[in-house]
Amino acid sequence: MLAPCRNPDPSASGHRTPELASTRARLLAGLGEGLARLPLRQTTGFGSVTLPLPGLAGPAPVLAEPHFVFSHARRGELRAGYGCVGEWQAAGPRRLETLRAQALGLKAHWYQQDPDATGLAGFTLCGFAASPEAQGTLADAPDPFPNALIWMPELALRRLGDRSTLTMTAALPADRQATLARWRGWLDRLLPRLYRPMGLAQAPGRTAIPLLRRAGVPSPGDWALAVDAALEAISEGRLDKVVLSRQVRVQSPRAFDLEHLAEALDRLYPSCQAVRIQRDNVSLVAATPERLLAHQGRRVEVDAIAGTAARAAGGGRDAALRAAMLASPKELHEHALVVEALRSALAPHSRNLEVPDRPRVLCLHNAQHLWTPIRAEIGPDLDLLRLADLLHPTPATQGSPREAAGVWLRQAEPATRGWYTGAAGWLGPDLDGELWVLLRCAQIRGRSALLQAGAGIVAGSDHRSEWRETEAKLSAMLTALQYA
């Protein structure tokens, strides 16, 4: 069901320079031209105009609430959305089927204009929580994020290498003059942030500050008991693997600055997907190495990531940790469970399924993981949402067998995960797109941040080493937050 969206008033203007005024005039002319070609009298659907946007560099600005940003520094990619002209929500076991039905309707009634032939269409956010059940609370606070969501932004930015675009979207039917006036207001707020005049003071970099860390859930003692219970279930044959998670809350002496945080994440973790989703004055931020899937045309790419080793300052010690992980029966077994689950999910729907015989190593700033990239060619009946339903949750985030691990976790974990270990990404007009597993997460409100991380428990796991693994994963976001 289409839900009403709360949008900011985009009428406030900013600094003006000749270059900015020229860019603004060109964009307004293009938007007017595109609007004239859209079927504005249609009684349902959306109309979008996409234009080239020169010089888009650095992190996406924080303009207003709600907004979302996906950026990958190493790939030189960015997608950002501001405001909301429509959203669809769902919950329960059939949540992704429900969203897919809405997306099919969107596909049929999303009218695109690309006057300058950029070839880059508009996009929506698509995301969902770890579990299809009702959200409940996160650390005794209501979770502001719906269980599953498709969100159509009013203003969208995209950067792909050295190409950048701006897309403006209106819900139909729409009045041409009123729509153009509203889009003009967005430009007046956006452009001064993207093209700051020479001599205008730039935001200074922040120095790291200590964060006050509060007691987490579970406690070390409860964690040890949970790991022991998991190992007992594994030894009895009820589970092969289960992923236990932790929550830690930290407090900063200053309000967290999301633009500084984005810069820190891009700098510290350039090979990760940085995610920021803000709704109701709460921001979900992640720096995740794990792509759930990428779908374009008939091609699908899936990442199997499981098995973890620490990093070391010395090259020799770092290489030794990597070699030990590659030779560890425990780590290889944990990884193989994920690979086999993804292979089994894709095989009935694929041809030319490509699964490497041995994993590679994915090296991050604070950890290194076993990684197997899987590729497949799929039939025309599958799209991003159907694929997500097939693949999520993987053994990397819940366990194996999937259903048994889910039931066990609902009884064993003391806190709701929310969107942590769910997925988020972008969905295009043809129901293609990309989704990333939400790992290394923080939910931020003002000066407070709730962090989440987990570890996979298999035969041979030790609660002390698994606790240290979660500490290493928590440190990814803790380090970045010190600069926010």
Residues carrying an active site annotation: 241, 290
Which tokens belong to 58? 């650095």
Contact (CB, 8 A) for 254 and 266? no
Contact (CB, 8 A) for 123 and 79? yes
Contact (CB, 8 A) for 245 and 452? yes
Q: For residue 378, which phi and psi values (nearest 5 degrees)?
A: -115, 170
Listed in order, strand segments (DSSP E) in 108-255 are 110-113, 124-128, 137-138, 141-142, 148-152, 155-160, 163-171, 212-213, 241-251
Give the torsion through C-alpha atoms of 326, 331, 332, 337, to 10 deg.
-150
Contact (CB, 8 A) for 86 and 102? no
Helix (H, G, I), strand (E, B) or coil at 74: coil
For the chain, count helices (H), then strands (E): 10, 26
* Rounded CA separation 65/121 (Å): 23
Q: How many CB atoms lie within 10 A of CB 5?
A: 16
Q: For residue 177, which phi and psi values (nearest 5 degrees)?
A: -70, -40
Contact (CB, 8 A) for 269 and 287? yes
Contact (CB, 8 A) for 193 and 14? yes
* Rounded CA separation 147/129 (Å): 5
DSSP line for 128-166 = E-SSSS---EETTEE--S-SEEEEE-SEEEEEETTEEEE
Contact (CB, 8 A) for 130 and 417? yes
Contact (CB, 8 A) for 150 and 99? yes
* Rounded CA separation 291/191 (Å): 32
